[in-house]
Amino acid sequence: MVNKDTAIPQGRMQIKKVADNMIMVFAFIVMFASLAYRNEVGTALDVVLGPFADFIGEFLILILILSVVTGIYTSVVQKYTMNWELMAKSKEYQKQIRDLQKEYMEAKKENNQHKMKKIEKKRTEVMRKQTQFSGEMFKQQMKPMAYIMIITIPIFMWIWMYVESHPDMVVTFPLFGVTELSSAFIFSLPFWVLWYMMCSIPITQVVRKALGIRSGM
């Protein structure tokens, strides 16, 4: 006979698992649709972001604002969708493997065969334990990406469309001076992508720290 007290939590976990899978599928649909129908996605978002861009005036400021929004959104999603205990356990196993590797190298220098075999046996056991939940670890890393893609990729598609529709727009990039918004930096990387990264990375780190999200995800 199934215990009612355990059946309810199990039912909720099953519903949560189904919901997570549906969101991941939806996120990949959004990603591929955004790539295949970039102009259509950009045009749809332009209904909201177009007037906002006109209101802001300076496009670099707009990208800064969008990087703040996506940085906060990304950090919140990571905080509430990832199993941080599992992540901490993985880091613990990685540290154990590094420590054992160091001990093994020292034993090898001393030509201590008995110690080497003992360490090798221990290391194999730790690696076996780590491998047992490697699939869950991959899922933990993919889950926040699914939520993030739903918002971030369409925004990028809109920025891309906006830049393509304003090829002669001139802006003043910090450190680089006056240049066209569509100009490339290196390896065909547009300046606006570089600017987004320059804004997003420090903002995301500040938000992560404020939310108490551990580094080394």
Domain of 9, in residue numbers = 4-81+142-211
Q: What's the pLDDT score for residue 7? A: 47
> Which pLDDT band holds residue 6 (cuts at 50, 70, 90)?
very low
Domain for residue 97, yes or no? no
Residues 6+ apart with CB under 8 A from 31: 149, 153
Domain for residue 96, yes or no? no
> Which pLDDT band holds residue 2 (cuts at 50, 70, 90)?
very low
> Which pLDDT band holds residue 16 (cuts at 50, 70, 90)?
low
188 phi and psi angles, rounded to 5 deg: 65, 20
pTM: predicted TM-score of the whole model, two decimal places: 0.64
* Per-residue pLDDT tens digits for 126-164: 877 777 666 666 676 677 777 787 788 888 888 888 888
Domain for residue 201, yes or no? yes
Tally of domains in the chain = 1
Which of 4-8, 77-81, 110-114 is predicted least confidently? 4-8
Domain for residue 130, yes or no? no
Domain for residue 190, yes or no? yes
- The average confidence (pLDDT) of the chain is 76
Question: In whole angstroms, how far apart are CA 203 and each of 15, 198, 207?
Answer: 34, 9, 6
> Hey, what are 115's tokens?
């110690």
Please state, in angstroms and rounded to a whole number, the distance separating the CA atoms of residues 156 and 137.
Answer: 28
- Summarize the confidence of residues 167-174 as an average pLDDT: 76
> Hey, what are 105's tokens?
């190298």
Domain for residue 59, yes or no? yes
> Hey, what are 144's tokens?
């926040």
> Which pLDDT band holds residue 174 (cuts at 50, 70, 90)?
confident
As a whole-number percent, the residues of the chain with pLDDT over 90 amount to 1
Domain for residue 67, yes or no? yes
